[in-house]
């Protein structure tokens, strides 16, 4: 066989069948580089399974890309000749495939490379360099590349006809090419139908050993029966990992990342991972998902992309979508932490509600029970009508998208898991807090118009001081009296609303604290009547509207003035994660479904201040 081809031989492709022969592996050791250093990689051809080619399902790709538009043909057959591996490649009829075929025929594109799913290997050391021998693998694709790792892996524009040694090692193959093709096709078809229920390479061993279809069916039944009682396993060259072990490692990575982002004490599961960089976590995840160290990319960007699922690193890997979920869950946990740590202050005076959908909510306040009347000896019980009052509002959706790029993982940028999620959680708190503040200060401080067509704070409602004044025993007493004098929906029944909270802007915090402080007076005239009677709520967002205005509010469980709602099942900020399209990384969508309204003026009182 010639190692140097003439220009004429390069042009001698079979245009009728659009095929060309390639030496896809020369048998030589190729140099690979990882973070752990350099090593030589070599393939033991005796352990290579080529069943996909026999079944006609092995693609010819461009640069190992798994995109559907990167397939330009298929592998017709694969055979071993001496120490090398050869293949006949048939090109498709798409515009791209025709262009590649013409480049191959012209000798412009010559380099090829094999795509393997490595199942087992061994390491050898000598005085020169570490050597890794792949002892068991499945050939899954052949790629056309500009610079092959194996320099002798090139296109050959002729079909050599010496005696060849086929890749099958089984002496029990069924006779006849047609029967063999049908056997292989049936086994692969059954495997495809059971995708997700049997390992991806489950069919390979049965194809290689010449098992009949009936034997394969029996093996499937046995496998699925065993799966119901035992944890499935998958193998990579450094050992066997169970589903339980894989889940524990993934949980450990999540807990370690959460501890790094928040500064909290890591769990036992997360402690081994808390000191890892984001890139080291990516590498650990890929090993746990089934990628051998041999297949681990040396390029940090490709490593991060592989963990995120942006780059395909190896056939047969398990759970390649888990890592984005791990990162997304961590971001969600940090956002929820910051949301719960500092809730909106005014939510304390609000009644909480869950909405089933986005339609208008109508909180109804039933009127007071009618006065009881005497029933004489032969008298009848009389019906008493109940009046009602109602306001309306609805839940709205608010949200934003933040991104984690591959560069952030490579640079070990923890802001994506600490500063950004903290800011997102605070942004949700800010939205809820400002929504409630806006209800208090709406329309220059008189509040929204209620269902009776009168503003929330109005003398007609008896819940606003006739003239503004500073906080004092006198003004607090007047406010309390006004609330205790409130009438019910029927406008006649005294409902005796008791104030529970004093609400002030930050500018009045110190003044308010003085009037609520507990004292040990020496004489009755010095007694503080409001000591321990009111709970102080300070809302700095009120200062933007007024630094002197203050309020009293009732317990929302007894007489709620305001109500807020979240969508049912989505209380607080919700997060969703997807592999980015606009950004080269992950996108995190933060969403809050929230609404609020003033529902009754009787539970709130305002003093304009002075």
Q: What pLDDT was estimated at residue 56? A: 86
| pLDDT computed for residue 313 by the predictor | 64
Among residues 324, 317, 326, the alpha carbon closest in space to that of 296 is found at: 317
Average pLDDT score over residue span 167-196: 58
Task: Estimate to the nearest angstrom the gap between the alpha carbon of 322 and the chain centroid.
Answer: 9
The Cα–Cα gap between 570 and 332 comes to 13
Is 485 in a helix, a strand, or coil? coil
At 165 the three-state DSSP class reads strand
Q: Is residue 244 pLDDT above 80, yes or no?
A: no
Phi/psi of residue 486, nearest 5 degrees: -65, 145
| Percentage above 90 pLDDT, the chain | 29
Per-residue pLDDT tens for 334-360? Answer: 888 888 887 889 999 999 999 988 888
DSSP codes joined into one string, 57-106: -PEEEETT---GGGEEEEEEEEEEETTEEEEEEEE-SSHHHHHHHHHHHT
For residue 183, give the nearest of 88, 80, 54, 48 by alpha carbon: 54
Half-sphere exposure in the Cβ direction for 36 (13 Å, CA): 11
The mean per-residue pLDDT over the stretch 387-399 comes to: 78
pLDDT-derived band at 242 (thresholds 50, 70, 90) equals low
Judged against a pLDDT cut of 80, whether residue 503 lies above it is answered with: yes
- The position carrying tokens 């020369």 is 26
pLDDT at 5 (0 to 100): 41
* Whether pLDDT at 178 is above 90: no
Give the pLDDT mean for 547-552.
97
Are the C-beta atoms of residues 609 and 445 closer than 8 Å to each other?
Answer: no
Q: CA-CA distance, 219 to 229, in Å (whole number)?
A: 16
Q: What is the pLDDT of residue 234?
A: 31
Contact 144, 110 (CB under 8 A): no
What confidence category does residue 157 fall into, taking pLDDT thresholds of 50, 70 and 90? low
Cβ(461)–Cβ(454) below 8 Å: yes
368 or 62, greater pLDDT: 62
Q: Distance of CA 79 to CAs 24, 48, 101, 138, 282, Å?
A: 10, 11, 22, 14, 37
Ranked by mean pLDDT, which of 25-39, 108-122, 199-213 comes out on top? 108-122
pLDDT computed for residue 435 by the predictor = 94
Give yes or no for residue 600 having a pLDDT over 80: yes
Tell me the pLDDT of the chain averaged across its residues. Answer: 79
Mean pLDDT of 399-412: 82
pLDDT surpassing 60 at residue 379: yes
Q: What percent of the chain is modeled with pLDDT above 70?
A: 75
pLDDT of residue 222: 63
Q: In what order do the strands lie in the sheet with 499-504?
A: 535-538, 499-504, 550-554, 604-607
Question: % helix / strand / coil in the chain, to the nearest 5?
Answer: 35, 25, 40
pLDDT recorded at residue 197: 65
- Residues 192 and 74: their CA atoms lie apart, in Å, by 19
Whole-Å CA distances, 346 to 140, 369, 430: 61, 30, 11
Q: What local confidence, expressed as pLDDT, does residue 12 receive?
A: 55
Separation CA 73–CA 52 (nearest Å) = 14
pLDDT at 55 over 50: yes
Distance CA 119, CA 239 (A): 10
Confidence of residue 116 (pLDDT cuts 50, 70, 90): confident
Q: Residue 361's closest CA among 324, 394, 313?
A: 394
d(CA 89, CA 20): 5
Residue 160: the pLDDT is 39
> What interhelical angle do 213-227 and 177-193 show, nearest 10?
20
Residue, of 115 and 544, whose pLDDT is higher? 544
Residue 421 has pLDDT above 80, yes or no: yes
Q: Is the model more confident about 184 or about 578?
A: 578
* pLDDT tens digits, 446-491: 999 998 899 999 999 999 999 999 999 899 999 999 999 998 877 7
Backbone angle region of 555, left / alpha / beta, with phi > 0 → left and psi within -120 to 50 → alpha: beta
Do the Cβ atoms of 284 and 276 come closer than 8 Å? yes
Q: Where is average pLDDT lowest: 285-294, 417-426, 511-520?
A: 285-294
């Amino acid at each position: 066989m010639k190692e140097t081809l003439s220009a004429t031989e390069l042009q001698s492709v079979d245009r009728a069948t659009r095929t060309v022969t390639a030496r896809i592996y020369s048998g030589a050791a190729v140099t690979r580089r990882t973070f752990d250093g350099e090593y030589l990689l070599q393939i033991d051809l005796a352990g290579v399974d080529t069943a996909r080619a026999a079944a006609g399902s092995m693609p010819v790709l461009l640069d190992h890309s798994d995109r559907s538009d990167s397939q330009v043909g298929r592998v017709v057959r694969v055979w071993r000749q001496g120490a090398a591996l050869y293949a006949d490649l048939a090109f498709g009829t798409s515009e791209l495939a025709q262009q590649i075929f013409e480049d191959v025929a012209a000798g412009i594109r010559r380099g090829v490379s094999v795509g393997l799913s490595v199942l087992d290997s061994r390491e050898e050391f000598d005085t020169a360099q570490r050597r890794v021998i792949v002892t068991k693998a499945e050939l899954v694709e052949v790629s056309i590349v500009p610079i092959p790792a194996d320099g002798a892996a090139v296109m050959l524009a002729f079909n050599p006809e010496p005696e060849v040694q086929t890749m099958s090692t089984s002496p029990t193959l069924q006779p006849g090419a047609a029967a063999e093709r049908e056997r292989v096709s049936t086994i692969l078809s059954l495997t495809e139908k059971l995708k997700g229920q049997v390992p991806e390479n489950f069919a390979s061993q049965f194809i290689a050993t010449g098992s009949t279809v009936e034997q394969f069916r029996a093996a499937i039944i046995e496998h699925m029966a065993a799966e119901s009682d035992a944890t499935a396993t998958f193998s990579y060259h450094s050992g066997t990992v169970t589903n339980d072990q894989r889940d524990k490692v993934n949980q450990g990575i999540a807990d370690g990342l959460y501890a790094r982002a928040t500064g909290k004490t890591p769990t036992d599961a997360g402690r081994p991972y808390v000191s890892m960089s984001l890139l080291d976590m990516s590498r650990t995840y890929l090993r746990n998902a089934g990628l051998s160290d041999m297949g681990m990319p040396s390029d940090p960007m490709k490593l991060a992309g592989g963990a995120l699922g942006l780059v395909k690193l190896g056939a047969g890997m398990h759970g390649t979508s888990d890592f984005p979920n791990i990162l997304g869950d961590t971001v969600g946990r940090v956002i929820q932490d910051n949301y719960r740590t500092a809730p909106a202050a005014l939510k304390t005076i609000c009644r909480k509600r869950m909405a089933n959908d986005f339609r208008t909510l109508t909180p109804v306040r039933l009127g007071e029970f009618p006065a009881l009347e005497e029933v004489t000896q032969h008298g009848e019980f009389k019906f008493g009508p109940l009046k009602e009052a109602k306001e309306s509002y609805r839940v709205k959706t608010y949200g934003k998208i933040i991104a984690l790029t591959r560069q952030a993982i490579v640079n070990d940028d923890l802001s994506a898991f600490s500063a950004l999620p903290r800011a997102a959680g605070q942004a949700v708190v800010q939205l809820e807090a400002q929504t409630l503040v806006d209800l208090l200060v709406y329309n220059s401080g008189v509040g929204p118009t209620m269902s009776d067509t009168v503003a929330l704070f109005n003398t007609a409602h008896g819940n606003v001081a006739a003239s503004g004044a500073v906080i004092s025993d006198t003004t607090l007493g007047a406010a309390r009296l006004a609330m205790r004098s409130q009438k019910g929906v029927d406008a006649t029944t005294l409902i005796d609303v008791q104030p529970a909270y004093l609400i002030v802007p930050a500018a009045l915090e110190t003044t308010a604290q003085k009037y609520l402080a507990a004292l040990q007076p020496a004489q009755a005239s010095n007694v503080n009547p409001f000591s321990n009677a009111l709970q102080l709520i300070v809302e700095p967002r009120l200062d933007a509207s007024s630094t002197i205005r203050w309020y009293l509010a009732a317990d929302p469980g007894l007489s709620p003035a305001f109500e807020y709602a979240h969508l049912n099942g989505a209380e607080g900020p919700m997060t969703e994660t997807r592999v980015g399209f606009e950004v080269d990384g992950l996108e995190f969508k933060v969403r809050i479904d929230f609404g609020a309204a003033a529902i009754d003026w009787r539970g709130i009182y305002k003093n304009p201040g002075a």
